[in-house]
Amino acid sequence: MNLDLNRLLYDFDLNGFFVVEDVLGEALRSQLTSAWEERAPDVPAFDICFGWGAPWTNLLSEGLFRLDPVLTRILGKCYKLDHAFCVTEGFYSSPDKLHYQSHMVDSGIIYTVKKHRPYTTLLTVGFALLPVEPMKGGFCCVPGSHKAEFECPPEFYQTMKNPHVRQIPQKSGSCVAFTEALTHGTYPEGHDVPRRGILIRLTPAGVQFRRPPGQRPNLNLPTIFKKIAPTPIEIDSLDEYSKSILTRPASMQNSRWRTNLTGAIPLAAARRSPQFRHPPIPVCSDRDRAEWEQYHLHTNRTRD
Ligand SMILES: O=C(O)CCC(=O)C(=O)O
Ligand SMILES: [Fe+2]
């Protein structure tokens, strides 16, 4: 694995994404593949609960951890894991369309550069357990669009017949890390080949993307996602790195534990913590629901 920071940061700022090869070793890939088949053999996508233990936790301690030097340069030292999920060839992030663009302040999705550092509020690290061949499914984007200063014309949200779109092939074990401020999506051709992608979403300290199930119904869980009963995490079984990215508070000021990981930390246990101050629990409003429908990318559409 080559973690040339200057090169990765240059790529990230220029294109909105970077690729690192050989992050997940063969043994870990094969453990994850077996665990995946056992857990959810027939669904296009499902959320990962880190209470399932190894190898899911090894994905963090032996996989994501290897990217820590570049992740801290983009997300700061206190970055957190917001949520993570698995996708197959049946998954579409948005049907036949790309989504998102630069400066989505209302959705909390921002990319900027200050004092020679790139910042983003939501970074996705997409690991490939199986290779993604050229022009066969996987991640695609409009490179550089995370910095666009003009509204994206509707025709450039098309995935096909869009001269700006680039599909990103991946070797197995590699990752493509991208800011969600990039106009991006799932490449719609080549879904006849299997895909085994793991998408981990990270935020800097103080930012939370998925709303915690403790606060309101988790509408961010699309219906194609298999609903799997959460398993509480044995916090003490985690290594320091995994523990820190899974349990860091969304706000350093008023809560000790985050509660937005499905089953990560039972709310009651979190409430017993002396520093814990939870805001009143809002009920999901129609406005929230409409907002979700408008902005959230995942749909329940699967390929015929
Ligand atoms: O890799 C893909 O299919 C697209 C994923 C995506 O849109 C995302 O993670 O935000
Ligand atoms: Fe996306």
pLDDT, position 225: 57
For ligand 1, whether the C-beta of 88 sits within 6 Å is no
pLDDT, position 258: 38
Query: What does residue 225 show for φ and ψ, rounded to 5 degrees?
Result: -75, 130
Q: Whose CA is nearest to atom 1 of ligand 1?
A: 139
Q: Is residue 85 part of a domain?
A: yes
Q: Is residue 95 part of a domain?
A: yes
CATH, residue 88: 2.60.120.620
For ligand 1, whether the C-beta of 297 sits within 6 Å is yes
For ligand 1, whether the C-beta of 184 sits within 6 Å is yes
Q: Give the structural domain span for 168.
A: 5-295
SS3 sequence, 3-27?
A: CCHHHHHHHHHHHCEEEECCCCCHH
Q: Is residue 304 part of a domain?
A: no
Q: Is residue 302 part of a domain?
A: no
Query: What are the beta bridge partners of residue 99?
Result: 184
For ligand 1, whether the C-beta of 98 sits within 6 Å is no
* Number of domains composing the chain: 1
- 10 Å Cβ neighbour count for 258? 21
pLDDT, position 85: 87
Q: Is residue 74 part of a domain?
A: yes
Give me the average pLDDT of each 10-residue run along the chain (304 residues): 96 98 98 91 81 91 96 92 89 86 90 95 98 97 97 93 97 98 94 94 85 43 54 78 76 39 39 36 41 36 27
CA 216 to chain centroid, in Å, comes to 20
Of 101, 176, 297, the residue with max ligand 1 atoms within 8 A of its CB, to mutate for a pocket test, comes to 297
For ligand 1, whether the C-beta of 124 sits within 6 Å is yes
Q: Whose CA is nearest to atom 10 of ligand 1?
A: 180
pLDDT, position 150: 94
Q: In the β-sheet with 166-167, what is the strand arrangement from edge to edge?
A: 166-167, 139-141, 184-186
Query: What's the gap in Å between 114 CA and the centre of ligand 1?
Result: 26
Query: What's the gap in Å between 53 CA and the centre of ligand 2?
Result: 26
Q: Is residue 303 part of a domain?
A: no
Q: Is residue 275 part of a domain?
A: yes
